[in-house]
Structure 1
Amino acid sequence: MNICVFLSAADLDERYTAPAREFAGLLGKAGHTLVWGGSDTGLMKVVADGVQEAGGRLVGVSVDFLAAKARPDADEMTITEDLAERKALLLAKSDAIVVMVGGTGTLDEATEILELKKHAKHTKPVVVLNTAGFYDGLRTQFQRMEDEGFLPRPLADLAFFAEDGRTALTYLESEIAAR
């Protein structure tokens, strides 16, 4: 399975890197391919290292203004002209999506993917990996959106919130197997 992971390229605390490393190892050991933003820095590097060390493949999609930070030993690397093209390629190259901790770029990617799913522009499973409760506030906001009629589909149809990597991967594998 090609699993797109949206996540930060920042150097982060161990409370985020340790679970990310564990999740990456699970992906690689299961023979899955990481599809990610291609950066060889911060949490993106932690996950790419973990997948590669565990035997998984790396498919990166970077953008021209970040090309200098692209991982040199990825199995495949594409450099796009802009962020919109990058997001479209990340979605096109993946079977499933995982949203890990991140900043505004990660949030932008996550909300676009969910918006596209809301409008049936893709049917790929989406997991929000809620490491250390990072996305508790977002889950509350999404639930409010559903409760107050802003989402035409139930939140559960758009995204699955997982508290750990094993739960996230089990969910994705079962969703893909059911298709």
Structure 2
Amino acid sequence: MNICVFLSAADLDERYTRPAREFAELIGKGGHTLVWGGSDVGLMKVVADGVAEAGGRLVGVSVEFLRSSARAVADEMVITADLAERKAELLARSDAIVIMVGGTGTLDEATEILEFKKHGHHTKPVVLLNTAGFYDGLEQQFRRMDEEGFLPLPLTELVFFAEDGASALAHLEETAGVR
């Protein structure tokens, strides 16, 4: 399975890097491919290293203005002209999406992917990996949107909230029919 992961390129502390490394190992050991933003810095590097070390494939999709941060060694690296093209390429190359901890770029990617799913532009499973309670507030907001009628489909069909990498991957494999 080609698993797109949206996540931070920032250098973060152990409460985020350890679970990210563990999730990356699960992806690699499961024989899956990581499709990610292509950067070789911060949490993106942690996940790419973990997948590669565990035997998984790496497909990076970077953007021209971040070319200097792109990972030098990947199974495939695509450089897009802009962020919109990058997001489209990441979605096109993936079978499933996992949203990990990140800043405004990750939040932008997450909301666009969910908006596309809401409108039927894709049916790929989306998991929000809530490491260390990072997305507690966002999960609460999504639940309120669901309860108050702001979503045209049930929240459970839009996104799955996972507390750890093992449950995130189990959900993806079950949803995608992979075992």
Tell whether the structures are fold-level matches, with TM greater than 0.5: yes
Matched, 1:76 2:76: yes
Residue in structure 1 matched with residue 28 of structure 2 by the alignment = 28
Q: CA–CA distance in 1 between the matches of 2:121 and 2:26? A: 29
What is the CA deviation profile of residues 123-163 of structure 1, one whole-angstrom value per residue up to 9, with x for unaligned ones? 00000000000000000001111111111111111000000
Distance 2:10 2:54 in 1: 22
Two-structure CA RMSD over aligned residues (Å)? 0.7
Between the aligned partners of 1:153 and 1:138, the Cα distance in structure 2 is: 18
Q: Unpaired runs of 5+ in structure 2?
A: none
Counterpart of 1:32, as a letter, is H
Q: Does 1:137 align with 2:160?
A: no
Distance in 1, Cα, partners of 2:119 & 2:72 = 36
Counterpart residue identity of residue 134, structure 2: F
Q: Which runs of 4+ in 1 moved over 6 A?
A: none
Q: Displacement of 1:37 after TM fit?
A: 0.1
Say if 2:49 is the partner of 1:49. yes
- SS of corresponding position for 1:73: coil
Give the AA of the match of 1:149: G
% identity of equivalent residues: 78
- Count of paired positions: 178
Q: Write the distance in 2 (CA, Å) between the matches of 1:133 and 1:88.
A: 28
TM-score when normalising by structure 2: 0.98
CA distance in 1, matches of 2:72, 2:122: 30
TM (norm. structure 1) is 0.98
Distance 1:127 1:3 in 2: 10
- Which residue in the other structure is 1:155 paired with? 155
